[in-house]
Amino acid sequence: MNHTKTLMRTLAGETLDIPPVWMMRQAGRYLPEYRATRAKAGDFLSLCYNPELAAEVTLQPIRRYGFDAAILFADILLVPQALGADLWFVAGEGPRLSPVTTADDIARLRPADEVHETLQPIYETVRILSAELPVETTLIGFAGAPWTVATYMVAGRGTPDQGPAHALRAENPAAFDALIALITDATIDYLARQIDAGAEVVKLFDSWAGSLTGPDFNRYSLEPIRNITQAIKTRYPHVPVIAFPREAGKNYVGFAQATGADCVALDNSVDAEWAAEKVQIDGCVQGNLAPRHMVTGGQELIDETRRIVKAFSGGPHIFNLGHGITPDADPDNVQRMLDAVRQG
Ligand code: CP3
């Protein structure tokens, strides 16, 4: 199945001469057409919950660049919102949520089997995309991994060191485990419904995995990702899972095998040559150009792109950035990167 799609072939373990390519945050503020559609929606969250406009911004980078994959336009924080947390975005600062800090707060959240009620518009976006995407383009659904989602829920915002979540897990492990279990169940349901609506691949974003060390990495990043992956694989054996334990460093080694993920996404702090030897040996990897090259461009962008393509040329590789493209990126640099990947 799906053998015309380069991304699906790569996730099935094929090594292609030219790797498939897409970019995290490819629908985003660096594109004037994205900013125009967001203005039409009113704000970011209204855009997420407007299926026609969310599908439109998902399609914009596909039309402009012809990426091999489209990622559903939504946000990892829609799950906490569906669990009952208030969510809003402060311009220039980022997300704010009503914090969940005690066992009572956790007990007051909605049960996992109710989250689908407020997430219906997201499934509608997936259905529209599934009908409208070009046949060669793979549709990726996603969710945040439980640890990362919990860090925002506990702190009520993004933090430099995820301190509040670390404090809660140390002081009240039972309450913290209950929160992780609730997010895990809600995420399984959320991803399953994205797949039912037409998502062909799902990706788990564990953006703050790198703040976990020793046994805590296994307990809060690896194990919840494994539990979600196993649950998805049981119901949908043919749907590939991409896991992104960002800044996991040496914990990237063996991560795919331990979780059952089909592909591990690498951030740009890891050396491509090292990762080819230590991580790609187990299967497909994705990554890992530093997003700053999309701002600075020049010969360095071309050289770095070629170096990464070459480093991973011995096995299955999906070319991507090591983190999301930033609003100050130059759209012409994206085209230069694509040309370097596809034309060498
Ligand atoms: O990759 C994609 O284009 C798909 C859509 C997507 C968004 N967020 C859209 C978005 C995905 C996959 C995410 C994931 C996400 N959201 C993560 C994990 C990946 C990562 O970046 O580490 C996290 C931690 C979030 C939470 C979040 N959402 C933050 C911290 C912010 C504010 C920071 C910022 O860039 O402004 C957002 C907002 C957000 N999510 C935007 C987009 C396009 C910008 C909103 C805008 O248009 O103003």
Q: For residue 63, how many other CB atoms are within 10 A of its CB?
A: 11
Residues 146-184 have pLDDT tens digits of 999 999 999 999 999 999 999 999 999 999 999 999 999
Which ligand 1 atom is the nearest neighbour of the CA of 144?
A: 18
Average pLDDT, the chain: 97
Give me the mean pLDDT over the 111-131 stretch: 97
pLDDT at residue 2 greater than cutoff 70: no
110 in active site: no
Q: Percentage of residues in the chain with pLDDT exceeding 90? A: 98
- Catalytic, out of 30, 123, 152, 190: 152
pLDDT at residue 259 greater than cutoff 80: yes
Q: Distance between alpha carbon 286 and the CA centroid of its chain, in Å?
A: 11
Q: Domain 72-124+138-234+243-264: give its CATH code.
A: 3.20.20.210
Q: What is the pLDDT of residue 92?
A: 87
pLDDT at residue 1 greater than cutoff 80: no
CB-defined site of ligand 1, < 6 Å: 24-29, 38, 44, 71, 73-77, 94-95, 142, 158, 205, 207, 324
Q: What is the pLDDT of residue 339?
A: 98
pLDDT at residue 37 greater than cutoff 70: yes
Q: What is the pLDDT of residue 314?
A: 98
The reported pTM is: 0.97
pLDDT at residue 111 greater than cutoff 70: yes
Three-class SS string for the chain? CCCCCHHHHHHCCCCCCCCCECCCCCCCCCCHHHHHHHHHHCCHHHHHCCHHHHHHHHHHHHHHHCCCEEECCCCCCHHHHHCCCCEEEECCCEEEECCCCCHHHHHCCCCHHHHHHCCHHHHHHHHHHHHHCCCCCEEEEEEECHHHHHHHHHHCECCCCCHHHHHHHHHCHHHHHHHHHHHHHHHHHHHHHHHHHCCCEEEEEECCHHHCCHHHHHHHHHHHHHHHHHHHHHHCCCCCEEEEECCCHHHHCCHHHHHCCCEEECCCCCCHHHHHHHCHHHCEEEEEECCCHHHHCHHHHHHHHHHHHHHCCCCCEEEEECCCCCCCCCHHHHHHHHHHHHHC
Centroid of ligand 1 to alpha carbon of 336 (angstroms): 24
For residue 240, which amino acid is it?
Answer: P
Which ligand 1 atom is the nearest neighbour of the CA of 24?
A: 1
Give me the mean pLDDT over the 214-228 stretch: 98
Give me the mean pLDDT over the 83-89 stretch: 97
Q: What is the pLDDT of residue 344?
A: 83
Give me the mean pLDDT over the 35-57 stretch: 98
